[in-house]
Every structure is written in structure tokens, then in C-alpha cells.
Amino acid sequence: MTSRLFHVAPGGRLTGRLHVPGDKSVSHRAIMFAALAEGTSRISGFLESADCLATLSAFEAMGVAHRIEDGARVIEGRGLHGLVAPDRALDLGNSGTSMRLLSGLMAGQAFDSTLTGDASLSRRPMQRVIDPLSRMGASIAAEEGGRAPLRISGGRRLSAIEYASPVASAQIKSCVLLAGLYAHGITRVHEPGISRDHTERMLRGFGVTVERQGPSVSVAGGQRLTASDVAVPADLSSAAFFLVGAAISPGSDLLLESVGINPTRRGVIDVLQAMGADLTLIDEREAAGEPVADIHVRGGALHGTHIDGDLVALAIDECPALFIAAACANGTTRVTGAEELRVKECDRLAVMAAGLKRLGVDCAETHDGIVIHGCGQRDDQRSAFTGGEIASHEDHRIAMAFAMAGLRAAEPIVIDDCDYVATSFPNFVELAGRAGLSIDVEEKSV
């Protein structure tokens, strides 16, 4: 077996125009809803990454035919009740979105199914979806502590529930709403804060009535999905690494094209602007129910800020990159209400704090966040980081965040376990190189 290491050369700046790959959250949902729809749907800009391909092969195993036509994924929908029993466990790799959303869908099927994942996914909490699904009448057996594999019994009659979710999580909300499509009555989810609303937007695009009242969203069971074409915007979560990379490196001047700027996701833009980044949105427009824009960012001085729980929720996947920006800023950045970061692909608070310290940054992890004392950005002192070796803990976003630190490092940064970058951003190294960040990839035998 081999494992990939990134060797990131120190210094540089990011320039030019980039189009990062399609949005991961939107790509997963596009496959799922197209598979459940009546008719043929065409998904352009689909993210061809390991996570989204895991969702696609799960539906393939349930009888969904698909093909590539002119670079788009074309899906032959089987209707709400048309999936067939898979002849194997559905292996969802590293993808939490696939497992949590699929558990809602599988709970409503006539057949039994088993959802499995890799070592990281098998450590992640699934009780948060098992609880509401059980209340709806689903039968799900899990490993100790509510971990995968999940064995979901089919043929259960689901009833609608009103569910007050203890966390603002689009994965929990979407899971319950998707089970709600198979339930008798109106299923309603209340959330303690805002979570991304791609499910609601896209279900409407497939002809389903989804209602929102303040912090609650509801769906009536039995509604049919009608095939629809989806144009997937570029992923703001992938763009975030380049936004931060350009913002922290003087002389950078970068344009990121057609990036999704959904208001429930755009925290990274607001935080960087609050830190004084020279970042502007150009030509704001709508594509397939999602707002998009080109984003222009230039390098310059940043200052510290407070990222509270509400902002964390709007930038949940972008926090690792934002912590790199904080380390380059003048003054202190405090992050609070960020406990959810501990249950992502790894404990992102602990792993980011350890990595930042390794690179000489003065920071301290707290129970619900982190405090980062930035080095400031003076023209005569470009480095904010020493060089060193970083453990990415098999987490794609940790690896890409620390790769961007290379732009302000004094010595090379070496990052382990970078195979996982392919879960969300398969051509990251190529795009980074094109923009001006040089990364050598070493294949190491393990």
C-alpha cells in the first residue's frame, strides 16, 4: 500500500483565474434526487470526487442507470419507490453526507440495507440520525456508540415527526426530511441555528413542496420527484483554500469563477472580509436555484477577529483554512461555539491546534474553540510559519489548509495522508501549481 505526502515549497503568491470543482453537498443531493425522480436528469459540473462517486455507486447498486454525456452525469431516475435491493453492503467510503442522508432514504425502503464506511467514517457519530429515524418507526442496528456499519431494516411504516434537532446540522435535517418523503403525514425539523439549505432548494427544483417557517422546515410524505437538470456551482469549501492562500500572501491577485455563495454557506467570505481581506464578489447571479458569483481576492494585511458559534455554522467546513488566515493576521482571533468541529473527519480543533503549534504559531485550544495569536503581516517579514511535518489525520481539509500555510512559511511543510484530498478536491495539487503554490507529491510505501 502507498500513502501520499505533500511537500509544499515555502513562499510564493497566487495569481490568475481558477475554476475549482463542483460543490460536494450539491453533487451528492443531485445524484440522490435524480435517482428518486421520475425521468432523466442531467447533472453538469458534478464533483467527480471519491465521496460523490461513493454516493453514485450506492445508487448504481440499487438499480440506478447512469452515463456520462458531454461531461455531464445523466441519471435515469427510478421514482420514489423504484430502487431495488442491493446485493452488497453500500460502502460510503469517507463520506458523512452520504451515510447520514442515505440512512434517511434507506429507512423508507421496502428492502434491508447495510451502510458501511472507512475507518474515519466508522468513528463518526450516527446516533444523531438513528434517534429521529427510530422515532419515525425505523429499525436501525449500529455498532457500539451509534457507529457504522448501520443495518437498516426495510418494510417499516414510517410516521411523520416534529423533530427539534439538538445541533444545527444539514445532514441531520436532510436525513429526517428525506425519511419524511416516505412517512405518513408532515415531517417538520426545527434547528437551533442555520444550516445549509441545499436539500430544501433542490427538492423544490425536483417539484417537491418544502415549507419553511422561521427555524423550521417541513415536508409532506408521498410527494413524487420529477426529473430536473442541475448545474452544480463551484464549491465554496474548495475555493476557501485559495481565498485564504491569496489573502495571506502579499502580491496575490486571484479570480475564482462561478463559486456558490449560498447565504447558509458563505461564512468564509464574511469572516475574511471582517479580517480586512481585499475580497469582492463580482457578477452575482443564480444557477439552478443556487446563488453564484466570481470572487476576486488580493493579498494584504489581515487583522484578528471573533468567530462565534453562528458564524462557525456558516463556515463549518472552512474553519481549518480560516485558522491559517488567523495565524497570519495582526492580533488575536477567538473562535467559540465550535464543538461540532470535533466530530468532522477528525477532531479539527485538536488537530489544527497541534499543527499550528508545530509550525511555531502561538495558539491554544479551548473546550469549544481555539484562540490564535497571529504573527501580523509586515512587508519585511513574510513568514508566519516555520517549516515542519504535519499530521493531517486522514482529513482532506486539514491537508489543504496546511498546504496554503506554505505560502507564508520559512521552510518546506510536509503533510502526511494526503490521499484523502481526493474525497473532495481531486485536482487540488494541479490547480495550486497553476496559481503559484508548488506542491510535490511523494508516494510512500506503508
What is the smallest separation between the CB atom of 278 and ligand S3P, expressed in angstroms?
27
Site for ligand S3P (CB under 6 A): which residue of 5, 14, 126, 170? 170
- The per-residue DSSP string of 316-369 comes to TTTHHHHHHHHHHSBSEEEE-S-GGGGGSSS-HHHHHHHHHHHTT-EEEEETTE
Q: How far apart are CA 228 and CA 220, in angstroms?
A: 20
Q: How far apart are CA 261 and CA 272, in angstroms?
A: 14
Provide the pairing of β-strand 113-116 with 90-91.
Answer: parallel
User: Per CB under 6 A, which region of 82-90, 169-177, 330-338, 353-361 contacts ligand S3P?
Assistant: 169-177
Tell me whether residue 231 or residue 248 sits nearer to ligand S3P (CB atom): 231
Residue 195, interface with ligand S3P (CB under 6 A)? yes
State the binding string over 283-322 for ligand S3P (x if CB under 6 A, else -). ---------------------------------xx-----
> What is the 3 state secondary structure string of 44-65?
ECCCCCHHHHHHHHHHHHCCCE
Tell me whether residue 196 or residue 298 sits nearer to ligand S3P (CB atom): 196
Tell me whether residue 13 or residue 396 sits nearer to ligand S3P (CB atom): 396
Site for ligand S3P (CB under 6 A): which residue of 41, 98, 165, 171? 171
139: three-class secondary structure by DSSP: strand
What is the smallest separation between the CB atom of 51 and ligand S3P, expressed in angstroms?
9
Tell me whether residue 119 or residue 446 sits nearer to ligand S3P (CB atom): 119
User: Per CB under 6 A, which region of 170-178, 215-223, 271-279, 352-360 contacts ligand S3P?
Assistant: 170-178
C-alpha cell at 207: 417539484
Contact 433, 439 (CB under 8 A): yes
Cβ count near 133 (within 10 Å)? 26
Phi and psi of 39, rounded to 5°? 110, -175
Residue 364 — left, alpha, or beta (φ > 0 → left; ψ -120 to 50 → alpha)?
A: beta
What is the smallest separation between the CB atom of 95 and ligand S3P, expressed in angstroms?
9
Rg (CA), the chain: 21
User: Per CB under 6 A, which region of 54-62, 168-176, 267-275, 282-290 contacts ligand S3P?
Assistant: 168-176
Site for ligand S3P (CB under 6 A): which residue of 66, 196, 348, 393? 196
Among residues 91, 294, 317, 395, which one is catalytic? 317
Tell me whether residue 316 or residue 359 sits nearer to ligand S3P (CB atom): 316
What is the smallest separation between the CB atom of 194 and ligand S3P, expressed in angstroms?
11
What is the smallest separation between the CB atom of 64 and ligand S3P, expressed in angstroms?
20
Cis status, amide bond into 21, omega within 30 of 0:
no
Strands lying side by side in the sheet with 216-220:
162-164, 186-190, 216-220, 210-213
Q: Is 317 among the residues known to form the active site?
A: yes
C-alpha cell at 48: 467527480
Cβ-based neighbours of 288, under 8 Å, separated by 6 or more? 205, 229, 230, 231, 232, 233
Contact 359, 406 (CB under 8 A): no
Footprint of ligand S3P on residues 329-358 (CB under 6 A)? 340
Tell me whether residue 195 or residue 333 sits nearer to ligand S3P (CB atom): 195
Footprint of ligand S3P on residues 16-55 (CB under 6 A)? 25
What is the smallest separation between the CB atom of 142 and ligand S3P, expressed in angstroms?
17
Tell me whether residue 191 or residue 419 sits nearer to ligand S3P (CB atom): 191
H or E stretch including 217?
strand 216-220
Tell me whether residue 39 or residue 337 sits nearer to ligand S3P (CB atom): 337
User: Per CB under 6 A, which region of 164-172, 358-366, 371-379, 438-446 contacts ligand S3P?
Assistant: 164-172
Bridge partners, 5 (sequence order): 442
Contact 272, 246 (CB under 8 A): no
What is the smallest separation between the CB atom of 170 and ligand S3P, expressed in angstroms?
4
Footprint of ligand S3P on residues 85-104 (CB under 6 A)? 97
Q: Which of 207, 206, 260 is nearest to 41 (CA)?
A: 206
User: Per CB under 6 A, which region of 4-12, 166-174, 210-218, 327-335 contacts ligand S3P?
Assistant: 166-174
What is the smallest separation between the CB atom of 25 and ligand S3P, expressed in angstroms?
3
Q: Which residues bind to ligand S3P, rule: CB under 6 A?
A: 25, 97, 169-171, 174, 195-196, 316-317, 340
Q: Which residues are catalytic?
A: 317
